[in-house]
Amino acid sequence: MALDLFSPVSLGSIALKNRMVMAPLTRNRAGEGGVPQAINAAYYEQRATAGLIITEATPISTMAHGYPALPGIYTDAQVAGWLKVTDAVHAKGGKIILQLWHVGRISHPSLLPNGALPVAPSAIKPEGKAFTYKGLVDYVEPRALEVSELSGIVADFVHATKYSLAAGFDGVEIHAANGYLLDQFLRDGSNKRTDNYGGSFENRARLLLEVTKAVVAVAGSDKVGIRISPVNPFNDMHDSNPQALFNYVVDELNQFNLAYLHAVEGGIHGGGIADPFDFDALRKHFKGAYVANLGYDKVRGNAAIASGHADAIAFGVPFIANPDLVQRYKADAALNEADSKTFYGGSEKGYTDYPFLNA
């Protein structure tokens, strides 16, 4: 029987009832102190029919924040808030993992402790504007991290992984995509270092591999995924040779026997035109399960799974507007249209009030 979106699959030790993954989606609706609230539990619970939910990107420390009203995963209160989310999803038979995030230079002093400068591999100010509590403001030039500080970044990922497991998550996803800190180290448009963390592919991948090794040691390789975006120009990102770089990165990641690799197959968020890239070739480099993301619908998703290109498909905006997306795809039913004005911040409107098919 041909495999499709509705076939079961295992990503590492995480057994999924279908191959429809809810992509990580920043929604800016956490409570005071980065603590998830009842509304967040309701939102994720509504979408528990997904084979797997990947949470919104979640800062691993106070210095990892880059946007207002984000949930965190570094305090006991945050763990208690997330427990309500994981309990709600598990009660509906769902699986949920947390995406571990450090934004690096994509932040602003007003969002960081004591007005600190954002940190980055190199002191290069990104084009664009930061989304702050007072609106959009220009990014600032970040501070280049000292080599001596990088072990502290790894330790923050470890701490957040321990807290994720304490919060009841089925695993974690390391966010190395979309122009945030680990991606900033990978791509040479943002990494101009001349030490062991810059220059060669080996050096630029070093921090990601150190983080991965440390997170796997805590959670187990079968509960850890990684997200990459080789050619997404969002957040002023580019690389001089993305295909060779990311083929190398994937080859190195194979040593960890990860649960999956999650690839953003192009450019998202209107960041510009993505460079050409052969994602079929990248997929062939990776020895584990592959989750494809970007512009997939039911037809394209089924085709990617049937051809062996992907083991699962991550859907973003369709899951925002259709909590019962799995049921709608099964029934070939019409989809609700997403209201982009309510994507980032607000309350129930555009968050938990989208109608179900059988409401």
In the set 163, 180, 197, 351, the catalytic residue is: 180
Contact 43, 343 (CB under 8 A): no
- Structure letter (DSSP) for residue 59: E
d(CA 9, CA 255): 22
Q: Which residue has the tokens 């995030």?
A: 101
Per DSSP, the three-state class of 117 is coil
Question: What is the length of the chain?
Answer: 359
Select from 122, 115, 51, 43 the least CA-distant residue to 85.
43
Place of tokens 């990641």: 253
**DSSP alpha helix (H) spans, the chain:** 38-46, 76-91, 147-166, 181-186, 201-204, 206-219, 242-253, 279-285, 298-307, 317-321, 325-331
Does residue 133 have an active-site annotation?
no
Strands 312-315 vs 290-293: parallel, antiparallel or unpaired: parallel
Residue 327 CB neighbours (<10 A): 14
Q: How far is CA 76 from the centre of its chain?
A: 22
Burial 258-279 (b: 16+ CB within 10 A, else e): bbbbbbbbbbbeebeebbebeb
Catalytic residue numbers read 180
